[in-house]
Homo-oligomer: A and B are copies of this chain.
């Protein structure tokens, strides 16, 4: 990715209208370190100024830009929010229950780099999976489930089996309670993807889904376990950000899918928006990177600025698992692109 592309993207966003830092970030999902660097440069060069907490183009910047561009506005669809599908009425009913359950979710832990997708987007993910034939009578495994996708799936009563792997032992009690209260049948397994896969889950599922750790080793581990769980011709849904994974590493991950016998069928940009928590401590935990800015961005007025693209992959049959299912994997949880992690901003 050239810095020029990021610069142009920022400037034309602001040509459309001045906006606060958080909104600008939400609309410009580039590698966060690069984004902050370019933004600082533009600020120091006097291309961007700040008025009433909003970033604006300076007169100098306005002159440099193509004036005709502003006439051609393009919005992300405000009906589906750029997510392609519209879930029907029955999904709306489930959403209400799902939102209620979501509130009982154990607080997120930076220790496991947890974060949560907004409930609406989790439901849209279920709808998309259903549209693509990956829900009805399917055995589905979630490799990590911060977002409680398992519960959204279970509430439809459509899948045959739902298994959740998560490293976080607090979930065991949580799922037990939810299962009981809502008559669901989600199987919870406390499991760290660094460890060998329990053999009983090998090649048993039609679908896996995950929001992997985004370091090379983290991504590889999540994918390897997902692939090991999958039957021939099964499919996988994987969330991947542009904020903490450079395009170079995206290509590496894509090659990884293909070299292991999968095809990428869909990449929907910015499909999943992460929750801006109502718990202040949780929110600010991942927003410490603002220290790197040369100006004060102001407090985040509840903008969801952290988004993940959704990739769907499909096994071509006899796929490989990258790492043998019965081998341990050494996982490095944070790397130099983990810009939102508190440890990178100490």
A-side interface residues toward B, CB under 8 Å? 1-2, 4-5, 8-9, 12, 66, 68-69, 71-80, 82-91, 127-128, 130-131, 133, 136-137, 156-158, 232-233, 247-248, 250-251, 254-255, 258-259, 262-269, 314, 316-317
Task: Rank and list the top 5 A-B pairs by shortest CB-CB distance, nearest first.
Answer: A77-B80, A73-B88, A79-B79, A251-B263, A2-B233
Query: A133-B9, A263-B254, A316-B248 are contacts. A76–B84 as well, Cβ < 8 Å?
Result: yes
| Besides A247-B316, A266-B269, 13 other A-B contacts (C-beta < 8 A) | A2-B233, A12-B136, A68-B158, A72-B127, A72-B156, A72-B158, A75-B85, A76-B131, A77-B77, A77-B80, A79-B80, A265-B267, A267-B267
Does B267 contact A69, Cβ atoms closer than 8 Å?
no
- Which residue, of A79, A232, A247, has the highest number of chain B Cβ atoms within 10 A? A247
Does B78 contact A86, Cβ atoms closer than 8 Å?
yes
The residue on B at minimum CB distance from A311 is B267
Distance (whole angstroms) from the CB of A322 to the closest CB of chain B:
15
Does B68 contact A87, Cβ atoms closer than 8 Å?
no
Main secondary structure of the interface of A (DSSP, over half): mixed
Give the CA-CA distance A258 to B249 in the complex, in Å: 11
Give the CA-CA distance A84 to B247 in the complex, in Å: 21
Q: How many copies does the complex hold?
A: 2
Does A66 contact B137, Cβ atoms closer than 8 Å?
yes
Contact of A66 among B2, B66, B69, B158 (CB under 8 A): B158
Give the CA-CA distance A84 to B76 in the complex, in Å: 6
Contact of A127 among B4, B74, B247 (CB under 8 A): B74
Give the CA-CA distance A72 to B90 in the complex, in Å: 6
Give the CA-CA distance A74 to B134 in the complex, in Å: 13
